[in-house]
Amino acid sequence: MNTIFSDAQTRLTDIFEHVQLSDDIRERLASPKLSLSVSIPIRMDDGGLRVFTGYRVQFDDTRGPTKGGVRFHPAVSLDEVTSLSFWMTIKCAVAGLPFGGAKGGVIVNPKELSNLELERLSRGYIRAIADIIGPKRDIPAPDVYTNATIMGWMADEYYQIMREQLPGVITGKPVHLGGSLGREAATGQGALYVLQQWALQHNLEPVKTTIALQGFGNAGYQFARLAQQAGYRIVALSDSKGAVHSEKGLDVDKIMLHKRTRRELKAMLYCDASVCEETDHTTITNEELLELDVDVLVLAALENQITAENANLIQARQIVEIANGPVNSQADAILATRGIPVLPDVLVNSGGVTVSYFEWVQNRAGYYWELDEVNTKLKIIMDREARNIFALAEEKNISLRTAAYIYGVQRIAGAISEKGTREYFQTKT
């Protein structure tokens, strides 16, 4: 049976064809260190009881405590969470962070819950996994349909269980509860830094570059907002309910304002107090957005958005992955044959975990940085790792994803090798 995790593991096949590594490395990265499934009983507002299923997977902690988000989504599964924890392991190594990878999730449609029910679920999840997390063991963070408020509830629940303030246990918290400035925009900001490095090397002028973005959640919105400020033309945006397209460009902030007030994505009419304006646009489907003729297609929704079924229909000149695993391995091969480069998720979206690392450092030190310092440190890391991966891909004539995986896996391999591999223990003294 082909699963998300089995597809994710195929990425390693290319790695071992290009670099010589001990078989111990392949064995260590073949399965997670710990997988936990939990039941979370919640008293609903109507007095009834519902039991939700949650997961936490810690994939590898060779380089440090595990790190990874928690998503609330009806399609969450153990297979998905395991894959995400694997990608987090690679991602933390790509960014050079002293973390391993983990991920968590709860099978739920959070849009169907009241705020009180959502708080009970968030606290219940932490009670269920409290024994396996901690500032020096495993540090959760926000992901799909979770946010700073939810992280604040989770952190507070952990403090109550442990009878002490341990802000380093959760990142992505509200700023007034120990969160870091810049964390909310970090994934989008980091993705823009990577795109800008790519643009510099491939002579892409922002004002002449069109972008279509799938997934207008927090990461997608922050990227689109910042990219528009940098001069890029955002011509299409989509969320789970549909998409809008305008060759003249869309006003990202006005569309987000409308979405937040009307709970729908629409560009026909923007109203700000008594001032309204019309803009030319076309309503299209998510599928049509993926097939638009644009310079850059940004994928910021969920995994498996481009597969063997639609890879030949993609017309974008390059693809940027902000979501985790939006292009599967079969699609990767098709896109490579067609000469469409994919800037991979394990590099592009590592800005989020990098600023989560900054938050963890600030929490443990009890000393907090200004926003400019956070963004400066983030840019240094994103620019450095992007340049290194782009150079490795060019040097070895391999895809950007393969280069990123080689780069990350070599760091993991170094940590594993320092503890001794089969080759070391077979050596005669």
Q: Which residues form the catalytic set?
A: 103
Q: List CB contacts of 356: < 8 A, sequence separation 6 or more.
A: 67, 139, 141, 171, 172, 180, 183, 186
Reference 143, options 76, 94, 243, 200; nearest CA is: 76
Quickly count: other Cβ atoms within 10 Å of residue 308's Cβ. Answer: 13
**CB distance 219 to 194 below 8 Å:** no
Helix (H, G, I), strand (E, B), or coil: what is residue 201?
helix
The phi and psi torsions of 238 (rounded to 5 degrees) equal -145, 155
Reference 295, options 313, 319, 268, 279; nearest CA is: 319
State the residue for tokens 């490795």.
392
Helix (H, G, I), strand (E, B), or coil: what is residue 259?
helix
| Burial group, residue 167, by CB count within 10 angstroms (0-12, 13-18, 19+) | buried
Q: Give, in order, the Cα–Cα distances in Å from 143 to each of 76, 131, 147, 151, 237.
A: 12, 21, 7, 10, 20
Q: How far is CA 217 from the centre of its chain?
A: 12
Q: How far is CA 291 from the centre of its chain?
A: 23
Q: List CB contacts of 275: < 8 A, sequence separation 6 or more.
A: none
Q: Which amino acid is at 200?
A: L
- As given in the structure block, the two tokens for residue 109 are 């449609």
Q: Give, in order, the Cα–Cα distances in Å from 293 to each of 104, 185, 214, 280.
A: 36, 28, 14, 18
**CB distance 18 to 396 below 8 Å:** yes
Q: In this structure, is the dihedral angle defined by the CA atoms of residues 190, 191, 195 and 198, taken in order, positive or negative?
A: positive
How far apart are the C-alpha atoms of 223 and 171, rounded to whole Å?
Answer: 20
How far apart are the C-alpha atoms of 84 and 82, rounded to whole Å?
Answer: 5
